[in-house]
Structure 1
Amino acid sequence: MCAKNMSYKSDLNVFVGAKTGILKGVKLCENVAIEKNLNGLNLNPREDEISAIGWGDSEEKEILLGLANQVVKVYDSEHLAFTSSLNTKCGEGTIRGVSRCNKSIVTAVESGEVSLWSDGESAKLEETIKTGPCLERMRHSSYDREIIAVGGKESDLSLWNLEAKEKCVFRAKNVPHNHLQLRVPIWVSDMAFLPGSQKVVTCSRYGHLRLYDPKAQRRPVLNMEIPEQALTTISACNKENHIVVGSGTGLMMLVDLRGKGLQMHHYKGFVGGIRDIACHPTDPYILSVSLDRFLRLHNLNTKALLHKVYLKSKLNCVLMRSDFSLKEVKIEKSYENDEVEELLIPNDPQDEKEAAKEMDLIFNEMDSAATRKSSKSKSIKSIDSKCLSKRKLEKTQFPPLKKKKKQKEVI
């Protein structure tokens, strides 16, 4: 594959949006972490805060940034530059979700308006859907790009079809009253679509974790409660029927959604509240950002902390490439028609085996040299010991003669 098609993917594999409005690009390898600011530092945190982030195309070249002042910026990761800035003023509050549906840009704001905008030099409003007040998060479906999910404070989960005439296709129903016959409050903070299905998982600021199946019923098919935790973000992982959830107290855990639900792994190392989580679709990697200004990479299975990068700003959201990997790549050059092209080729397992064989030969030679030196030193030591023993024998067999004192002659 040509370098022009792969260079933008091999350069930066993680993108992070900060509370100060800075977009940071990070390159994570096995032993190296490189971070880079992708926009200027003269920003107003109240207006330029990055509150939402998402991919603008399937090739993962464009990155959509939703700002607090309802401006959507488009960043080109191939040319490392901002290509457009669209004013998407509609409703009130900050942008809580941004994505692309066909050729339109979709935005959702706190007041509950979900809007479709034409992508061009000047954004034109195509359609507006009123979903409900106090919206906290909008997520796009992974199996159907026409379906979005929204939820918020006293606004339960609802699914909307952006292309159909009847926009609302599912609206969740609250669970029954508790044992004191009191209504259970609702505050949906985030949601995630399970891969390969229409099921949706939501987390709540009140510690509720609920699994919905739109084909089965309106009420959740699974209702878990994590006491004394304000759950803030959720993400589906590479394990089937498992999700990773984070809280405002710095707790991140793996949850099994089968049966009645089970809390499994707890991932340590957090100090501030977790704002966003991104899991790899096929590999056991978990990326997370928190208010303690660190970007962390955990292993899903071993719970090991693989990377911890200090990014100097309070972080809101994170975006991971679908081909994210910690393995480094080799760069080779091909000379054709007096032109130089850099080809990025992943490590070949045969080359790794040959390199391992060469290293084994080097260490074997080192071992043989060490044995020679040790044998020489042993022979020298044996010679020295023989000489010392001979000297000892001489001393014992032939003791030194004592000198007699001369007596003075008396006259």
Structure 2
Amino acid sequence: MKWTTANIKHANYTAQHELYVGTHTGSFKHLLPGSEKSPHGQANLSDLGALDKESRVTSLAFGNEAQTEILLGRAKNDVELHSFAQGGGSKKTVSFTAAPIVGLARYNDKLIAGIGNGQIQSLELEAEEKAEPVVISTGNQMDHLRQCAQVRSIVATGGKERQNNLKVYDLSADGKQIFSSKNLPNDYLQLEVPVWDSDIGFVDGPSVLATCSRTGYVRLYDTRKQRRPVACFASEEHGMSFATLVARGNFIYTGTTMGALKAFDTRRMKTHVHTYKGFTGGISDLHLDVTGRYLSSASLDRYVRIHDTESTVLLYQCYVKSKATKILIRQLESEPQVAAQPEDEAEPEVVNNVKQNKSIKATPVDNEYEDMFEQMPTVGDSDNESEEEEKAATKQSKAKLKRKNPSQSLKTKKTKL
């Protein structure tokens, strides 16, 4: 396949969205796919001069329900809080005691960070004096931390091996663990099934969760029923490795390290129901908009894309010049629209405008041009009418000739005699 840096925007993509993209080099970019003038324009929101090898963006999340605050974590122990309130933006940096940051959350006035060493660290943002973070140990390795959007005090973690499997914590109860998953039974050789929860997603609430694995499985858990998964998909393809996941409603969207994006239905997990095309590199992150119809993705082939979740059509593609690691999609604030007036009220408004001497532009009338169209025969006239018109025209032409040349008419009379 020929490598290209072509940017794409589908004609039917009219939604007003904006994208926030974190890259492997550490840059933090802002894109406006909904813009008519520059849908592929990119603005850098970070200082490129201060970036180094450890500036890779490893976590990106919204800090509040209004989506006006973005939490950005890097491979080092620094976390950036970007606020995009009306009238301007602000940036704040908070430092933790370990790195890398693999997940971020905001609960009340506390900033929660998931660390790669298996710790959940919590810091007071409004504290007057610099204090040590509160630490919760989840194991010895963590791949991702995810916050529940419906109940923001609930967070879930997951990692590699059985001791770092899916766990759920309640931050309102001093970080108490409220759920821990249990692995599937041993296989037919009585060997333990390998566990590697590379990403986690809450399915419309704190009780149902979905996980994907680098070992090729997608599992669905219900914390109210049992510790083992209630539904599971296990890939038979060699090398199938799921890297990221996002869930909403009855569907789970997963991206693989080989550039495959698939959708699963939680009601029948035997096989995938949709496949989204257009990728040439591994998918590093997925995010849905508030409606659940538009699926944004970041890929290591240096592209960000937006697909329609129902029709699987590629609506938008943009080349961002660096390996995209994290992505967020947000609805642009709509401008206030003028309410349509009823027909009864529209008429007096026009009269008032005329009274106020508001000029109305009109095209000038060409009389000669109008006369020419009036003399032209109408399409669809009968043959008899056209013959009569032709006879009348010949008579008029003969009369004009007689007036112009009277001598010629006398000669014709003599010849007749």
TM-score normalised by the shorter chain: which range applies?
0.7 to 0.9
Q: Mean Cα displacement is larger for which, 80-89 or 226-235?
A: 80-89
Tell me how far 1:84 sits from its aligned partner. Answer: 1.4
Moved over 6 A (4+): 347-351
What is the aligned counterpart of 2:105 among 76, 93, 99?
Answer: 99
Check conservation: 1:14, 1:25, Cα contact below 8 A: yes
The structure-2 alpha-carbon separation of the partners of 1:183 and 1:311, relative to structure 1 and needing over 3 Å to count, comes to: same
- Structure 2 match to 1:284: 293
For residues 29-62 of structure 1, the C-alpha deviation after alignment (integer angstroms, 9 at most, x for no partner) is 1755132111222143422211101122232222
- Larger CA Rg, structure 1 vs 2: 2
Q: For residues 183-262 of structure 1, what are the structure 2 equivalents within 5 Å? A: 183-196=192-205, 198-226=207-235, 227=237, 228-237=239-248, 240-262=249-271
Q: Partner letter of residue 285 of structure 1?
A: Y
What is the aligned counterpart of 1:345 among 336, 345, 348?
Answer: 336
Tell me how far 1:166 sits from its aligned partner. Answer: 6.7
Q: Secondary structure at the match of 2:53?
A: helix
Tell me how far 1:282 sits from its aligned partner. Answer: 1.9
* 1:76 is the counterpart of 2:83: yes
1-side partners of 2:240 and 2:33: how far apart? 31
Q: Partner letter of residue 310 of structure 1?
A: Y
Q: Partner letter of residue 325 of structure 2?
A: N
Question: How does the TM-score come out when normalised to structure 1?
Answer: 0.74
What is the aligned counterpart of 1:49 among 50, 53, 56?
Answer: 56
Check conservation: 2:252, 2:264, Cα contact below 8 A: yes
Q: What percentage of aligned pairs have identical amino acids?
A: 31
- Structure 1 match to 2:7: none
- Structure 2 match to 1:146: 153
Q: Secondary structure at the match of 2:54?
A: helix
Q: Secondary structure at the match of 1:219?
A: coil
Q: Partner letter of residue 253 of structure 2?
A: V
Check conservation: 2:148, 2:205, Cα contact below 8 A: no
Check conservation: 2:151, 2:205, Cα contact below 8 A: no
* 1:319 is the counterpart of 2:328: yes
Check conservation: 1:17, 1:53, Cα contact below 8 A: yes
2-side partners of 1:151 and 1:346: how far apart? 45
Q: Secondary structure at the match of 1:42?
A: helix
2-side partners of 1:96 and 1:287: how far apart? 20
Q: Secondary structure at the match of 2:32?
A: strand
What is the aligned counterpart of 1:17 among 14, 19, 22?
Answer: 22
Tell me how far 1:210 sits from its aligned partner. Answer: 0.4
For residues 356-409 of structure 1, the C-alpha deviation after alignment (integer angstroms, 9 at most, x for no partner) is xxxxxxxxxxxxx9xx8xx89x9xxx9xxx9xxxxxxxxxxxxxxxxxxxxxxx
1-side partners of 2:259 and 2:34: how far apart? 25
What is the aligned counterpart of 2:121 among 91, 95, 115?
Answer: 115
The structure-2 alpha-carbon separation of the partners of 1:165 and 1:117, relative to structure 1 and needing over 3 Å to count, comes to: closer
2-side partners of 1:166 and 1:83: how far apart? 28
Tell me how far 1:12 sits from its aligned partner. Answer: 7.1
RMSD across aligned C-alpha pairs, in angstroms? 3.0
Q: Paired residues, what number?
A: 332
1-side partners of 2:336 and 2:303: how far apart? 31
Check conservation: 1:73, 1:82, Cα contact below 8 A: no
Check conservation: 1:19, 1:45, Cα contact below 8 A: no
2-side partners of 1:350 and 1:290: how far apart? 47
Check conservation: 1:96, 1:136, Cα contact below 8 A: yes
Check conservation: 1:229, 1:247, Cα contact below 8 A: yes
Check conservation: 1:232, 1:246, Cα contact below 8 A: yes
2-side partners of 1:278 and 1:123: how far apart? 34
2-side partners of 1:45 and 1:53: how far apart? 18
- Structure 2 match to 1:362: none
What is the aligned counterpart of 1:178 among 187, 191, 205?
Answer: 187
Tell me how far 1:163 sits from its aligned partner. Answer: 2.4
Tell me how far 1:143 sits from its aligned partner. Answer: 2.4
Considering fraction of residues, name the structure with more strand.
1
Check conservation: 1:143, 1:198, Cα contact below 8 A: no
2-side partners of 1:236 and 1:286: how far apart? 11
Gaps of 5+ in 2: 1-14, 343-369, 380-385, 391-417
Q: Secondary structure at the match of 1:195?
A: coil
